[in-house]
A and B are shown apart, each in its own frame.
Chain A
Amino acid sequence: MAILECIGLSKRFGKVQALEEINLKVEPGRVIGLLGPNGSGKTTLIKLANGLLTPSQGEILIDGMAPGRESKAIVSYLSDKEYLPDWMSARQLMDFFEDFYEDFDRARAEEMLRHLGIDETMRIKQMSKGTREKVQLILVMSRQAKLYLLDEPIGGVDPATRDYILDTIIRNYNPSAAVIISTHLIADVEQVLDEVIFIQNGHLLLQTTVDEIREEQGKSVDQYFREVFKC
């Protein structure tokens, strides 16, 4: 069964049509790039999958379920916001994740914190912006979820950390889990993706594999993207 499925999915904010008639399926075992210019509806789609928004029309299904308590237990979500309570330390946050998510692997989170040289007792408030983003990502990637929804995970990080993140995604690869990465930095993630989804102005433009684009177009996804979304 598809881990994520959209059926005629639309979302409107007042007069603004953020998503219109999206139909797509994401199978387990895939790493997928959700690509589109700013304001194309990437974040709206991810929020709908997390139940942070309710569809105006159509359906979005996670492992066959409408977003809710059960789906949230199998979805690991990285928002593009800084959403961790800033008075908590990395250790307290691990306690928190351990309490609420059965699939949270604490040993793995501790390992990653050590690897990136982050002190567990430090509070979020005391950390630099980059370190906060790393802690968020570590918590999210330390779950054994069935669907990872990563909204702009490599937006503000340095190249070494970016490589570490991509490495983590590959290492964490699980044939029964899917990873969706929304980004506009395509060249950086292209080689870890199998599939790409292009969206523009709330419409689904294309869902295909990276190698298909390269085979048919004779160019990288990044180059092709620039061509499709030429201003």
Chain B
Amino acid sequence: MEWVFRNDLPIYSQLVDRIKLGIVSGALPPGARLASVREMATEAGVNPNTMQRALQELERAGLVFSQRTAGRFVTEDEKAIDDCKRTLAKGQIESFLEAMGELGYDREGIIALLKEDE
């Protein structure tokens, strides 16, 4: 199944986000071997160069490492994965706060609302 992309962001950065999500959610567990660039590109329905660029970005971020002959693997560094998870979570919170702010809620208001919901 092809992936759906937003119009306002580079495709490679959307690929990075998708793969990060897979790693932190455990769909791609630590140490797991990634499919080849071409296979991943075919699965996502994107240009292999774009997929390559996304994977390089992930390597730079330390979430993925490559072994010359064996291919690419998800990092086994749990801390790096955790950090990534936190960064993603913070990003989500930030946009959530922003949206709530537009509705006129401050932090306390939001917390009260969350508790009320329980």
Residues of A in contact with B (beta carbons under 8 Å apart): 29-31, 163, 166-167, 170-171, 173, 191-194, 210-211, 214-215, 218-220, 222-223
Closest B residue by C-beta to A166? B45
* Residues B41 and A163 in contact, CB atoms below 8 Å apart: no
Residues of B in contact with A (beta carbons under 8 Å apart): 2, 5, 7-13, 38, 41-42, 45-50, 53
Most buried by B among A30, A170, A210, A219: A170
Shortest CB distance A181–B (Å): 11
Shortest CB distance B118–A (Å): 39
Other than A170-B41, A170-B46, A173-B38, give 18 A-B pairs with Cβ distance below 8 A.
Answer: A29-B49, A170-B47, A170-B48, A171-B38, A191-B5, A191-B45, A191-B46, A191-B47, A192-B46, A194-B49, A194-B50, A211-B12, A214-B8, A214-B9, A214-B10, A215-B10, A218-B9, A220-B7
* Residues B47 and A194 in contact, CB atoms below 8 Å apart: yes
Shortest CB distance B3–A (Å): 8
List chain B residues, Cβ under 8 A from A219.
7-8
Shortest CB distance B72–A (Å): 17
- Nearest 4 pairs between A and B by C-beta? A220-B7, A211-B10, A214-B10, A173-B48
Shortest CB distance B102–A (Å): 21
* Residues A211 and B11 in contact, CB atoms below 8 Å apart: yes
Most buried by B among A191, A214, A222: A191
List chain B residues, Cβ under 8 A from A166.
45
Closest B residue by C-beta to A192? B47
List chain A residues, Cβ under 8 A from B45.
163, 166-167, 170, 191-192
List chain B residues, Cβ under 8 A from A192.
45-47
Set A163, A191, A218: member contacting B8, Cβ < 8 A: A218
List 26 A–B pairs whose Cβ atoms lie within 8 Å, in order of A's numbering: A30-B49, A163-B45, A167-B42, A170-B41, A170-B46, A170-B48, A171-B42, A173-B41, A191-B11, A191-B46, A191-B47, A193-B47, A194-B49, A210-B10, A210-B50, A211-B50, A211-B53, A214-B7, A214-B9, A214-B10, A215-B10, A218-B8, A218-B9, A219-B7, A220-B7, A223-B7
List chain A residues, Cβ under 8 A from B10.
210-211, 214-215
List chain A residues, Cβ under 8 A from B42.
167, 170-171
List chain A residues, Cβ under 8 A from B7.
214, 219-220, 222-223
The answer for the CA separation of A29 and B2 in the assembled complex, in Å, is 22
Shortest CB distance A25–B (Å): 16
Closest A residue by C-beta to B4? A191
Shortest CB distance B13–A (Å): 8
List chain A residues, Cβ under 8 A from B12.
211
List chain B residues, Cβ under 8 A from A171.
38, 42
Closest A residue by C-beta to B53? A211
Shortest CB distance A33–B (Å): 10
Closest A residue by C-beta to B49? A194
Shortest CB distance B64–A (Å): 19
The answer for the CA separation of A63 and B6 in the assembled complex, in Å, is 36
List chain A residues, Cβ under 8 A from B8.
214, 218-220
The answer for the CA separation of A194 and B48 in the assembled complex, in Å, is 9
